[in-house]
Structure 1
Amino acid sequence: MKEIQNINITVDGGYEPETVTAKQGVPTTLTFTRTNTQGCLDVVHSKDFNFETELPIDQTQTVDIDTSKPGTFTYSCGMDMFFGHVEVK
C-alpha cells in the first residue's frame, strides 16, 4: 500500500501549527479548517506550491502538494499577512 501524508492545519487568527513537516517524495495533502471569521484568512494561497483556495468557515479544504524536492515552502492568507511553512525533508 502506498504511503500518503495528511497534515491538518487549523486556521484561527493564523495557522496552527505554523510549521509542518512532510516526508520528501511521499504524496502529501494539507487539510485546512478555518474556525475564525477574520477576513483575510478566508483564502489560502502558495506560489511555492501553485495553489489558491477559499476556506469556508468550519469546512475542511484539502490541497495536494508536491514533495519531490526538499526545502521550506510557504503559504499565506489572501493579503499575505499570515504565513505558514511546510518543511519537506
Structure 2
Amino acid sequence: MDAAEILVTLGGSGLAAFVLWYFFLSARRTASAVSASGGLQEVDITVKGGYSPDVIEVERGKPVQLRFYRDEENSCSEELLIPDFRIRRDLPAFKTTLVELLPQQAGRFEFTCGMSMLRGTLVVK
C-alpha cells in the first residue's frame, strides 16, 4: 500500500467509527413528561434532523399528549410512526401536531419517521 491508500483507509475507518458512535453510542436527551391539570402528561418535542428530546419518560395509566413541532421541511421528517400504539401522523412543516395516547403497560416503545431514519423512545414506567 502506498501513502494515499493508507490515508484513504484511515479516513474511511475514522468516518465509519464516527457514524457508529453518533447513531448508537452518543448520549440521548431524556425528558420526563410534565403533568398538567387532570393528570394529562405533556411533552414538547422538536423535529429538526431528529427528535429533541428523543427519549421521553411517562407514567403508565395516565393520558399522554406529545406535541411535535416540525421545525424543518426535510421530507424524511414529514411522517411520524408509533407502531406499538398504532399511530401514524403527518407532521406539517413549521406547525405543531398533537399526538395523544394512553400507555397501559410499562416498557420501551420506539417512534420513528416514515423512513425509520429518525428515532426516539417512549419509556413508560
TM-based fold match above 0.5: yes
| Structure-to-structure mapping, 1:14-53, within 5 angstroms | 14-53=50-89
| Structure-to-structure mapping, 1:67-82, within 5 angstroms | 67-82=103-118
Structure 1 residue 66: deviation in Å? Answer: 2.4
Question: What's the CA shift string for 1:50-81, capped at 9, x where partnerless?
Answer: 11111111111011122110001011001111
Q: Mark the runs of 5 or more structure 1 residues left unpaired by the alignment.
A: none
Structure 1 residue 38: deviation in Å? Answer: 1.2
Q: Which residue of 2 aligns with 1:61?
A: 97
Runs of 4+ with >6 A deviation? none
Structure 1 residue 36: deviation in Å? Answer: 1.3
**TM-score, normalised by the number of residues in structure 1:** 0.94
Give the Cα–Cα distance (whole angstroms) in 1 for the partners of residues 102 and 120 of structure 2.
16
**3-state DSSP of counterpart to 1:2:** helix
Q: Which structure is higher in RCO with an 8 Å CA cutoff and minimum separation 6?
A: 1
Q: Which has the higher strand share?
A: 1
**3-state DSSP of counterpart to 1:48:** helix
1:6 aligns with 2:50: no
Q: Which has the higher helix share?
A: 2
**TM-score, normalised by the number of residues in structure 2:** 0.68
The alignment covers a number of residue pairs equal to: 89
Give the Cα–Cα distance (whole angstroms) in 1 for the partners of residues 69 and 113 of structure 2.
13
Q: Percent identity?
A: 33
1:86 aligns with 2:122: yes
Which structure would you say has the larger Rg?
2
